[in-house]
Structure formats: structure tokens, C-alpha cells
Chains A and B, each alone.
Chain A
Amino acid sequence: MSHVADPSPVLDKAPAPALRGPAARPVSRLLHRRVWLRLTLLLSAPLAWMILVYVVALAALLITSLWSVDSLSSEIDRTWTLDNFRTLWESDVYRRVTIRTVSVALAVTVIDVAIALPIAFYMAKVASPRARRMLVVAVLTPLWASYLVKVFAWRIVLSEGGLADWSGIGSPGYGLTAVIITQSYIWLPYVILPIFAALERVPDSLLEAAGDLGAPSPMVLRSIVLPLLVPGIVAGAIFSFSLTLGDYITVNIVGGANQMLGNLVFVNAGAANNLPLAAAIAMIPIVVMLVMLTAIRRTGALENI
């Protein structure tokens, strides 16, 4: 495995060192000399898996969304049509559910970033090193607790006669508020950690220098800390937004009668037996994510993640 980092053609064609080891092993010797062969062997299995399982599936999803289901035989009719997208565009339901899903995802993202910023700042810049380690563990532990356990916990807390009712704060009941609370709760560690990591990389001396030069604390936070945090915040925001966008289990458990995009996809793929329409609905979150990523890319924050 010599000179592997940057295989130059000259080194590549150089004869393998004439030592007793490699000479006795033709396969190893061949691999040692042929960089492209090593690369091919390394890449072929994982690439084949990713392409066969995932890329093909995504492409097929796009194609299926342009097919339709025969209403009589309920077989998939493989003639090209834009009917599914026309349905999505014209029907009130899909527009409403899309707006609802994106709004919930945005609300969760804003809430999580707002909560994560002070916590990450306290962990990285105020707490003692010992306390910092313990806080990291404290934030990480619920991350490993099962997703369903956390949703279930909120179902119990917000239930009639549950803790929220008993405490006097009152429960919002099962509905969109409950969905936003639960999702914010579940994805919070995913937002805290990247912001904390970004803050840890901000040298204390930078803050001290700004202070010594007379900048008041709010100004230091705004003009020095915040710009350096943008990649961390963006990473956290992408996590919470994408995870909320693709979630439909939480709304089943604490959302009452509300539906998100995922519910429509699931129902059409299963009970309604209309895979083409399900595929078309799934294009909505893909487009939303692409729009969001393009918008973020414009700001230049994506390169620094």
C-alpha cells in the first residue's frame, strides 16, 4: 500500500520492490502495482449496492410517478401521464397538507435552533471542562433512547389526565401543537451537537481580543460568534427540517386527526394501492429539500459543513 494517497503514473509503473514477500504472491503484487485495480476492487461492491438498491429505486420512483393505476383492474398502467401531478396541483387536500408539513418542519427547526444556541454556548464557552463532558453525555443519552419511546412518552405526558394536565400548565391535547412539541424534543440533540461542535472550534482568544478591543458582549456575539456558527446552525437546521419533513409516525401518535405528507404517501402505497400517486406525492418533500438546499447554497454556508 505504498504511495497510495496520490498515485502518480511514474511511481505506478515502477517495479515492485524486489523483496522476498511480494514476489511470492502474484495477486498481492499485481494489486500493489495497479492502483486502478485496487480502486476498482474497493469500489465495486459498495457502489453496486448503492446504485442497484438506491439510485435505481429513486429513478424508478420518478418514473412510477408518471404512470397511473387502472381503476378497474387496479394494475399499474405503464403509459406516460402527468395526471398524478395534475391531481396534486389541483386538489386542495395536497396543497393544505404540504403547507402544513412544511410549516411544522419550519416551526420545529426555528424552535430547536433557538433552544440549542444558548445551551451549546453554555456548554462550549461557560461550563468548566468537567461540566462540559457531563453535559455532552447528558445531551447525547436521549439521542440513543428509542424514537418511539420518546413519542410514546409525550403521548402519555399530553394525554387526558396526564402530567401536563395535572401540573396545571394544561395539555394542548393531541394535535399539531403536540406534533411540534414532540418533534422539537426528538430532534433537539441533532441541532445542539453541530452548533456545539462549531462553537468549540471558535478560539477563546478571539472572544477575548474582541473584548479587549472594547466590543461589548452583544456585539461580540453578533459580529464574531454568530458568523462562525453559521455552518453549525445550517447543519442542525437541515437535520431537523429534513427529519421532520419525512416523519409521519409522530403525527399518527400525538397529532389527532391531522395528516402530514408521509401519511398520504403511506396510505397510497398501502391501503389505497396507488403506488404511482404515492410516488408523485413523495416528489413534494424531495422538491422542498432541493429548494431549501439551493437557497442555503446561495448563502455559501454549505461549503463549510
Chain B
Amino acid sequence: MTLSTTAKRLLAAVTFGVLALIYLPLLVVVANSVNSNESMTWPPDHLTFEWWQRAWHSAGARDALLTSLEVGAVATGIALVLGTLLAMALQRYSFFGKNTVNLLVILPIALPGVVTGIALNNGFRGILGIDLTLWTIVIAHATFCIVTVFNNVQARLRRMGTSLEEASADLGAGVFTTFRLVTLPQLRSALLAGGMLAFALSFDEIIVTTFTAGDGATTLPIWILNNMFRPNQAPVVNVVAVVLIVFSIIPVWLAQRLSSDVDAVR
């Protein structure tokens, strides 16, 4: 099949046009962070760094950021352990109900967010009768983060094969020694990628979070949501948004580095 030059140009135009549209709203947010007009009308009339200063001194934003980092770190830790165990079980053994377990891992992220949210909310409050706290958020996040670690580790295990582990066992290494010295080093970048995804997922999650957050538990997304509608806080939210946009480049860059490492090994 040979596409005509016109068709190719048209496809290119659509692609780059849509990409421009994808970045445009984000650029507007960046520009508005220095817009002196509080109601953020376009175009910005004067340049100001007042909002950046206020954001820097905003205790609410800083506390929320710390809370989010804390929740993300603990949830990622749990997901790393549970996801790796599951991936090893499902990739290396065959057993009854394997497909069901596979489905079970995907379910928290495949079902619409409100379903997972209300199920956990009802489970905690209605059934167990416990109050929502920061820890209920952590449990909820860990539950839907398992799948990202699981996917990454499973894909890696499939590619690794079993020959190195068999060689290790044949040479007399025990089960744990083999895991520590042979399996784990090969899993390292998969764990990093899966953990990074899990952390990003937790850091950004808002729907399930609103259903599982206790009164005092304000993660950064909840803080943004609460302050977005307050006219005098909206510009500060805008600055936080810019910071988040800048931070979001880091994982992409890291992922590129990681995948080029893998290519080099291959």
C-alpha cells in the first residue's frame, strides 16, 4: 500500500494539530501562573510573581503534598511486595483458578472509579464500622496499585525464562539465595517501572480517594479540588498545577532512560 503524499500530509496535519491541542491547555495554565488578573481571563494583562510567592508560603499546599508523598510511598511499598509475589505465582506456576486471580488483580482498576470507591467506603464504614483516616486511603490505593507492579514484573518474568534460575538451583543455591542473587537483580528495572507507575497512580488519584479519605486526610488532589472554586485561592492552585506539570516530565524522562537501558542490554 502506498499512501499518496496528500494523505500523508493530511495524517501529519491531524497528528500535529491534535498534539498542539493537547499541550495548549497546559501552556495556558503555565501562562496564567504569572497572570496578574485574579479571575484568570485571557490574555494575561500584567506579569506577576505574587501567586508563586503565595503558593510557596501556602502551608495547606505543602502539608497536602507531604500527605500525598506519604500515602504514595506506603501504597507503592505494599503494591511492590504483593504485586511481585502475585506475578511470580501466576507466571511460574499453573493452578486451578489462575484466570480468576488474574481478573481479580485487574478488577479494581477496570471497574469504574465510583464503584471501587463506594465499595471500599461501604466496606470500611458500613461493614467494619471504622472511621475513615489516612490509612483507609493507603489501603485503597495499594489495592489498585498492585496491578501496575504485577503487569511489569510478569512481563519481565516471561521474558527472563527460567534457565538462569534453574542453573542457579543446579549449582546448589537454595530457593532464597536464587531469588536474591538471580531473580531479583533481573527484576530491578521492572520493579522500578512498576513502582513508579504505582506511585504516580496513587499521587494523582482523586475519585477513590474522595470516598476513602477521613476528615483530616487531605492529599494534594483533594486540596486542589477544595481550593479550585475559591476565587482567592484559584491562582495558588494554578501555581501548584504548573509545578505538577513540570514534575510529570520526570517519570517520562526516567521511563525513556530505562527503556534505552533495556535496549542496550539486548
Contact = CB atoms under 8 A, between A and B. Distances in A.
Interface of A: 1-7, 17, 19-22, 25, 28-29, 31-32, 35, 38-39, 42-43, 45-47, 49-51, 53-58, 60-61, 64, 76, 115, 118-119, 121-123, 126-127, 135, 137-142, 144-150, 152-157, 159-163, 165-166, 185, 188, 207-208, 210-211, 215, 217, 220-221, 238, 242-243, 245-249, 252-253, 261-262, 265-266, 269, 275, 278-279, 282, 285-286, 289
B11 A122 contact: yes
A211 B2 contact: yes
The 9 closest A-B pairs by CB, nearest first: A246-B112, A28-B174, A21-B172, A57-B123, A161-B41, A246-B113, A153-B25, A19-B172, A144-B248
Interface string B90-130: 00111100000100110110111111111111110111000
B135 to A, nearest CB: 12
Nearest to B109: A242
Contacts of B154: none
Interface string B8-22: 100110110011001
Contact of B111 (A2, A3, A55, A289): A289
Contacts of B2: 211, 217
A interface majority secondary structure: helix
B144 to A, nearest CB: 9
B3 interface: yes
A160 B42 CA distance: 9
A286 B143 CA distance: 18
A139 B25 contact: no
Contacts of B18: 115, 119, 188
A149 B122 contact: no
Contacts of B228: 148, 152, 155, 253
A50 B146 contact: yes
Contacts of A56: 123, 127
26 contacts: A1-B166, A2-B166, A5-B92, A21-B171, A31-B175, A32-B169, A46-B85, A54-B108, A54-B119, A119-B18, A135-B19, A138-B19, A145-B244, A148-B228, A152-B237, A153-B241, A155-B228, A156-B28, A163-B28, A217-B1, A246-B116, A249-B206, A285-B111, A285-B115, A286-B111, A286-B115
Given A64-B126, A122-B14, A243-B112, A248 B86 contact: no
Contact of B88 (A42, A162, A275): A42
Given A21-B173, A211-B1, A262-B113, A166 B43 contact: yes
B42 A146 contact: no
Contacts of B139: 53
A159 to B, nearest CB: 7
Given A149-B244, A161-B39, A220-B1, 17 more contacts: A4-B93, A43-B86, A43-B89, A49-B146, A54-B107, A54-B119, A56-B127, A140-B255, A144-B248, A148-B221, A153-B29, A207-B1, A238-B110, A242-B111, A245-B112, A249-B206, A249-B207
B93 A148 contact: no
A54 B111 CA distance: 12
Given A3-B166, A50-B105, A57-B122, A118 B206 contact: no
B252 interface: yes
A285 B7 CA distance: 40
B85 A42 contact: yes
B233 to A, nearest CB: 12
B32 to A, nearest CB: 6
A149 B27 CA distance: 11
B174 A21 contact: yes
Contacts of A211: 1-2
B15 to A, nearest CB: 4
B76 interface: no
